[in-house]
Amino acid sequence: MSAMRYTYLGPEGTFTEAALRTLPEAATRELVPMVSVPAALDAVRNGDAAAALVPIENSVEGGVTTTVDELAKGEPLMIYREVVLPIAFALLVRPGTQLKDIKTVTGHPVAQPQVRNWLAANLPDALWESAASNADGARLVQEGRFDAAFAGEFAAATYGLEPLVSEIHDAATAETRFVLVGRPARPAAPTGADKTSVVIWLGDDHPGALLELLQEFAVRGVNLMRIESRPTGQRIGNYCFSVDAEGHITDRRVGEALMGLKRICPQVRFLGSYPRAGVTTDDVRPLRPGTTDGEFLAASDWLTQCQDGRF
């Protein structure tokens, strides 16, 4: 049944699968690998799966544009939670392969910037060609199409390969953020350590247009954790903005910021309010004076009193 099925960027052995298996509910779901991020999300849109886990951001390379763009277009979907996974690569080869034998390497495009320095130092003449995923790169090595693949070491056994070198990363603290995406529904209750994601389309292009969007957050004390411009595909210079903000849509400051954006933008797509991975309320910075729910309510009550002549 689709309610018991989660899709993810496959094939088996991807970092996405490893991230998905960190979720408690994964143990009771059928986990189905898909050939691409769009395929994983389309399975949710057409009812073949209850949710999909897909990568959305890497600490070295930035946003995973395929996911960002897919969430901005098509039938709306909603983010329910996020997973942050530390990333280290292994150089996977067929048994018996030595470093001097490697002439071609492969991996996901997002992997290349994370191992670029290691490649230059150890395999400067190797030819890189991207694969649909790191695990798919391992499969291509198994088939003999490449000499080596950068993937998670855990993928070696699945594809009959050996890790020639382990713990490869140009940035020792590299990590990737994944999101669990489902069909729109009421967001979960706020935890006090939440994140809200939206996509915002500019109206007419004029000086200060982006500043006007940012001010809707700033004047209400809403901190932005990520903002990324993406082309809409309509014409050169026409962009939308993918935004992650601290807080939950039920927080007065966040809700009013979103209402402000809705007034001045031709389109705002709400992508969800969900718990921040690895963050508790003790980790959240104190709110700026004047931006708590109580202060927003007090101001609203004061306005009502003024309108009623009770001041």
How does pLDDT run across 114-125, given as a tens digit for each residue?
A: 999 999 999 999
Other CB atoms within a 10 A radius of the CB of residue 160 amount to 12
Tell me the per-residue pLDDT of 181-208, one tens digit each, with 9 for 90 and over: 999 999 999 999 999 999 999 877 788 8
As a three-state string, the secondary structure of 238-296 is CEEEEEEEECCCCCHHHHHHHHHHHHHCCEEEEEEEEECCCCCHHHCCCCCCCCCHHHH
Total-model pTM: 0.90
Q: Tell me what pLDDT residue 3 has.
A: 75
Q: Tell me what pLDDT residue 222 has.
A: 97
**Residues 6 and 40: beta-carbon distance below 8 Å:** no
Per cent of the chain over pLDDT 90 is 86
Which residues have a Cβ under 8 Å from the Cβ of 208 and sit 6 or more positions away? none
Q: Tell me what pLDDT residue 278 has.
A: 92
Single-letter amino acid code for the residue at 296: F
Q: Identify the residue whose tokens are 């898909």.
A: 34
Q: Tell me what pLDDT residue 311 has.
A: 76
Q: Tell me what pLDDT residue 236 has.
A: 78
Q: Tell me what pLDDT residue 232 has.
A: 83
On the question of pLDDT at 142 being above 60, the answer is: yes
**The tokens of 85 are what?**
């996974």
Task: Compute the average pLDDT of residues 124-134.
Answer: 93
Distance CA 33, CA 63 (A): 22
CA-CA distances (angstroms) from residue 129 to 47, 72, 132, 238, 256? 34, 28, 10, 31, 47
Q: Tell me what pLDDT residue 2 has.
A: 76
Task: Compute the average pLDDT of residues 53-59.
Answer: 95
Task: Compute the average pLDDT of residues 230-242.
Answer: 84
Phi/psi at 46 (5° precision)? -95, 5
What band does 65 get if pLDDT is binned at 50, 70 and 90? Answer: very high
On the question of pLDDT at 271 being above 60, the answer is: yes
Phi/psi at 213 (5° precision)? -65, -45
Q: Tell me what pLDDT residue 39 has.
A: 97
Q: Tell me what pLDDT residue 61 has.
A: 85
Tell me the per-residue pLDDT of 80-101, one tens digit each, with 9 for 90 and over: 999 999 999 999 999 999 999 9
**Average pLDDT score over the chain:** 94
Task: Compute the average pLDDT of residues 263-268.
Answer: 92
Which residues have a Cβ under 8 Å from the Cβ of 160 and sit 6 or more positions away? 94, 95, 142
Q: Tell me what pLDDT residue 172 has.
A: 86
What band does 1 get if pLDDT is binned at 50, 70 and 90? Answer: very low
Nearest Cα residue to 288 out of 221, 192, 218, 216 = 221
Distance CA 69, CA 71 (A): 5
